[in-house]
Amino acid sequence: MHENFSLKPYNTFGVDVKARYFTEINTIEALQEALRFSNNNRLPLLFLGGGSNILFTRDFDGLVIKLNLKGISIQPLNENEVLVTAKAGENWHELVMFCLDKNLGGLENLSLIPGNVGTSPMQNIGAYGTEIKDIFVNCSVLNLETLETEIFDLEKCRFGYRDSIFKQEGKGKYVILEVTFKLTAQNHNIKTEYGAIKSELEKSGIESPTIRDVSNVVISIRQSKLPDPKETGNAGSFFKNPTIPLTQFEALQQKFENIPGYPNGDAVKVPAGWLIEQCGWKGKQIGNVASHPLQALVIVNATGEATGKEIYDLSTEIINSVKEKFGIELEREVNIV
């Protein structure tokens, strides 16, 4: 157990805040012991995975538990399908690579997403036309009140766009211990429809792509516009893409004829990156913080010295200006502590 411990290396924004207590756990027993410690001392709890979707705006006056549970197992279901179970502390991208090495399909579009397996269900991580709900079977969680293990299946997780029960009424009540996915061993479902995947494959002269080809293309697209948190602190998309009523979208089209939108029934999803760019934020730096020059939706710790408050304040300014210009209220996607 560490005291007054800097969390700078444990959050991808690289914000330097302190935890009153900090411990890393490798086993369920160690987790239970840490929970007893927090109970006995009435300490607020915070669980950390890869620290890739969190913004600390202040010191944490409680116990931070970093989950390092490791292990991946594979169980064949039939000729074409397998179940892959990974413990919470496995790095997400390493899991994707592990599966590709075994020619298991389903995770390739989610290559290079920062973070750990255990936090992937919380926000139903997604990219390039796939969300984890598409391959999710269940996750095992520890109920913090009863200290019993429970299984949450697809329905119980109530996945939505960057959303799940773990961000809603289940918030703070469970720790995710492991996640099981159903992947293909052959006859892979290759998804190339989203964004630049198809054109990138064509550029490389690939006509019938393998899951490895899709992964490689996703990696190169991500590397071309998303900052590497090892070099520049960030937490991926800072805001969600807002969904607005079709009528509001049509009214906006009268004023802004190039406004992009992805219709879904009588609602339209509008790329927040476009709205933010139109307000003049793209690439703009204020103090230590900036909107990324290649993807306005990502806020970066440009100098490495930013405080959480500075990052938060810039996000508030962005929200205000988008609201003023478009009448749309952006919602933060990153967890604020």
Per CB under 6 A, the list member of 277, 313, 323, 335 interacting with ligand EPU is 277
Interaction of residue 60 with ligand EPU, rule CB under 6 A: no
Q: What is the DSSP string of 194-212?
A: STTHHHHHHHTT-SS--HH
Query: Taking the CB of residue 167, how many other CB atoms lie within 10 A of it?
Result: 17
- Within 150-189, the residues that bind ligand EPU by CB under 6 A are none
Strand partners of residue 34: none
Q: How far is CA 8 from the centre of its chain?
A: 19
Dist. CA 304–CA 167, nearest whole Å: 29
In whole angstroms, the minimum distance from the beta carbon of 295 to ligand EPU comes to 5
10 Cα distance to chain centroid: 15
**Is residue 326 a contact residue for ligand EPU (CB under 6 A)?**
no
Among candidate residues 52, 237, 291, 315, the one labeled active-site is 237
**Pick from 44, 260, 280, 327: which binds ligand EPU (CB under 6 A)?**
260
Interface with ligand EPU (CB under 6 A), residue from 18, 66, 87, 282? 282
Residue 237 annotated as catalytic: yes
Give how many residues touch ligand EPU by CB under 6 A: 17
Nearer to ligand EPU, 195 or 245 (CB): 195
Binding-site member from 14, 115, 209, 236 for ligand EPU (CB under 6 A): 236
- Phi (first) and psi of residue 74, to 5 degrees: -125, 135
Using alpha carbons, select from 192, 187, 207, 167 the residue that is nearest to residue 332.
167
Q: Hunting for tokens 């962005």 — which residue is that?
A: 318
Q: Which of 99, 296, 300, 314 binds ligand EPU (CB under 6 A)?
A: 296
- 321 Cβ neighbours under 8 A, 6+ residues apart: 279, 280, 281
Is 257 catalytic? The answer is no
Query: Per CB under 6 A, which of residues 189..218 are in contact with ligand EPU?
Result: 195
Task: Please give the residue ranges that form the binding site for ligand EPU (CB under 6 A).
Answer: 127-128, 195, 236-237, 240-241, 260, 271, 273-274, 277, 282, 295-297, 333
